Amino acid sequence: MATNFWTSTHLKELLEQEEVDVVHNLDKQRGITLDDFKLIKLQMTNYIARLAQNVKVRQRVVATAVTYMRRVYTKRSMTEYDPRLLAPSCLYLAAKSEESTVQARLLVFYIKKIYPDERYRCEIKEILEMEMKILEALNYYLVVFHPYRSLPQLLQDAGMSDAIQLTWGIVNDTYRMDLILIHPPYLIGLACIYVASVLNEKDNTAWFEDLRVDMNVVKNIAMEILDFYDKQRTISDERVNAAMHKLGLRK
Amino acid sequence: MADLDQLLTKKVADRYLKREVLGEGTYGVVFKAIDTKTGQVVAIKKIRLGKQKEGVNFTALREIKLLKELKDPNIIELIDCFPHKGNLHLVFEFMETDLEAVIRDRNIVLSPTDIKSYIQMTLKGLAVCHKKWVLHRDMKPNNLLIGPRGQLKLADFGLARIFGSPDRRFTHQVFARWYRAPELLFGAKQYGPGVDVWAAACIFAELLLRRPFLQGASDIDQLGKIFAAFGTPKPSQWPDMIYLPDYVEYQFVPGQTFRTLFPMASDDALDLLSKMFAYDPKARISAQQALEHRYFSSGPPPTEPALLPRPPPKKDSMDSKPSEFGPTVLSPNSRKTRRVMPEKGNDHGIGNERSGPAPMSLDFSVYDNRPPARPTINSADRTHLKRKLDLEFQIPEDDEYP
């Protein structure tokens, strides 16, 4: 990890799980449960990733965009900040702040292309307005750290260089949860390596013990990741649609 | 205050009382304002929205992103951001003047301890940036602002970047030419904090000489000026030089001693300067190391910031009674406005810059309104730069899927 993480706003802004798992009152009134809330955020994560694939931006941009989106929903309601507009707008802002600008019209074009559903449609103007609102909701904190950068080095050090694709994929999947809002990225990275070692049946106990980190935290994060993979199987499109339907926004 | 209600209507975002325009920044108007919450005088940058309907200005966003992470007495404070009538506004602490104005004011005598103080504050700000992996990339006297109590603060982070990974490629079209390090002039794409240290050395020299030290008229000429001063670098001095993208061989010139270049400076000052002006970026002293140099620890200590000589503050409506607040008068500024756009008031082109300093015996004070033309990043560079900055980084790099 870059040394400045320790003095960063990212570190200062980390939250507790209980603070993240709060459904906004306005959303509650529409019948949104905590499960729905998580499902919609998951759906929007997938949306951002898919859109990003089309406009061709780095994984880091996707990760930052998802982090922005999740941070916004710790402070604002889905009722006021329609996820189907917030998600692409977060990608738009993240691309800028990660120095790989994507034009808003390009996003609008691909949204139309990949989601023929009317309710996903948005205009350039709406994205730009939302950009400003996101900045406010984020309190203008834009620097986000991710586990990616240190991953190859850590894996090499652990003698697991062959598992880089697997681990990288697991890190990508952690953005489907709120882990990045709660834990420092290096611990998330280590948890992903831990999960990868379990999946590869590689015993890395000694390597982990040599690290000066709290292994309980790493193991807890790893458990959450594995739990998520288990639950993931039960998620159906119907459930997602039902949750989105409760919001019943736009048109 | 009886006329408070009247004033309310002139407030920006219900909090800031708008005053006179201070200048045209790189991406919008800067105006003075009073923070009614704290009574503090602030400078507000109103960010122009991009022409191509691209939302919040990219440069402004960069500045916000980095300044939110950099809180330090020697770095300009971004107090607040808010949208108003569709425009984003950045609220900065108000700074009275800048180092360029100090250097140019012929009525000011800078003692060795004053110089020590100014360069120490510069290096302190820079060391904080570098510690947080931020390159400033536009260090020049004009971007070193001076606050009401003499504190010097780094400002204008519109070109700054996080340099987290060592193999990251950047554009070399950064810095105003006179402050550009030799590796940048030779087209280096991978560079580090040394570029800021070189620029700080140029500022140090400028404080000593009271004129820009290396006034190149073009990039080629800039290298020529550098080599004429310090001698053409030998391969032993800078082994990697010949591998730089735009490297061309220069005819060998021997260069001068630091003593001849800066006759008035102390031995310690010269030693530090020579280390900051090291050709090989790898051998160049870091900002932190420079602060630990004996120049700062020995001899007379640096002047207290509050006691530093400064140009008289602009006559402004600050002293006027509240009843005179009235409508803001956008009086034309006779003095230079801070961070003017490139080429503004410089119709004479580059040739102008070459004329160099006039004989010292001339009284310059009467010409103070008309500063010598300083190159900023010129417009050609700028579009090139913008393109680079906007597009170059889409190329997948270290973070990409392996």
What is the DSSP secondary-structure string of A85-154? Answer: HHHHHHHHHHHHHTT----HHHHHHHHHHH---GGG---HHHHHHHHHHHHHHTTT------STTTHHHH
Q: What is the pLDDT of residues B191-210, one digit of tens each?
A: 999 999 999 999 999 999 99
| Residue A35 pLDDT exceeds 70 | yes
Residues of B in contact with A7 (CB under 8 A): 69, 132
Tell me what the mean pLDDT of segment B108-116 comes to. 96
CA distance B210 to B362: 14
Among A60-69, B167-176, B256-265, B365-374, the range scoring the smallest mean pLDDT is B365-374
Integer-rounded Cα radius of gyration of chain B: 22
B181 — pLDDT class (breaks 50, 70, 90) = very high
Contact B402 A168 (CB under 8 A): yes
CA distance B342 to B164: 30
**A59 at the B interface (CB within 8 A)?**
yes
Q: Which helix (H) or strand (E) holds B24?
A: strand B16-25
| Residue A203 pLDDT exceeds 70 | yes
More confident residue, A20 or B360: A20
Closest chain B residue to A12 measured between Cα atoms? B69
Only one residue has tokens 């006027």, namely B320
Residues of A in contact with B397 (CB under 8 A): 58
| Residue B21 pLDDT exceeds 60 | yes
What is the DSSP secondary-structure string of A45-65? Answer: HHHHHHHHHHHT--HHHHHHH
B346 — pLDDT class (breaks 50, 70, 90) = very low
CA distance B186 to B166: 19
**B79 at the A interface (CB within 8 A)?**
no
Q: Which of A100, A146, A156, A175 best probes binding to B when mutated, by most B CB atoms within 10 angstroms? A: A100
Closest chain A residue to B60 measured between Cα atoms? A97
Q: Which domains does chain A have, with CATH numbers?
A: 5-144+237-247 (1.10.472.10), 151-232 (1.10.472.10)
| Residue A68 pLDDT exceeds 60 | yes
Instruction: Tell me which CATH code domain B10-93 carries.
Output: 3.30.200.20
Strand partners, A109: none
The confidence score (pLDDT) of residue B54 equals 82
B149 — pLDDT class (breaks 50, 70, 90) = very high
CA distance A120 to A51: 12
Scan residues 176-235 of A and list those with Cβ closer than 8 Å to B.
Answer: none
CB B152 within 8 A of CB B122: yes
Instruction: Tell me which CATH code domain B97-307 carries.
Output: 1.10.510.10
Residues of A in contact with B398 (CB under 8 A): 149
B334 — pLDDT class (breaks 50, 70, 90) = very low
Considering CB atoms only, which of B55, B64, B161 is closest to A131?
Answer: B55
The confidence score (pLDDT) of residue B217 equals 92
CA angle A234, A235, A237 (to 5 degrees): 135
- Residues of B comprising the binding site for ATP? 22-30, 45-46
What is the DSSP secondary-structure string of B118-163? Answer: HHHHHHHHHHHHHHTTEE-----GGGEEE-TTS-EEE---TT-EE-
Considering CB atoms only, which of A56, A104, A149 is closest to B398?
Answer: A149
**B267 at the A interface (CB within 8 A)?**
no
Domain residues of chain B, as ranges? 10-93, 97-307
Q: What is the pLDDT of residues B26-64, one digit of tens each?
A: 677 889 999 998 999 999 998 877 555 788 888 889 889
The confidence score (pLDDT) of residue B169 equals 67
Residues of B in contact with A9 (CB under 8 A): 68-69
B356 — pLDDT class (breaks 50, 70, 90) = very low
Instruction: Give catalytic residue positions of B.
Output: 138
B327 — pLDDT class (breaks 50, 70, 90) = very low
Closest chain B residue to A171 measured between Cα atoms? B401
CA distance B170 to chain A (A): 11
Only one residue has tokens 């935290």, namely A217
B358 — pLDDT class (breaks 50, 70, 90) = very low
Alpha helices per DSSP H over B231-368: 258-261, 267-276, 287-291, 294-297, 351-354
The confidence score (pLDDT) of residue B392 equals 33
The confidence score (pLDDT) of residue B398 equals 38
Phi first, then psi: give them for residue A44, nearest 5 degrees: -70, -30
For B346, other C-beta atoms within 10 Å of its C-beta total 18
Instruction: Give me the amino acid identity at B239.
Output: P
CA distance B41 to B144: 19
CA distance B330 to B24: 12
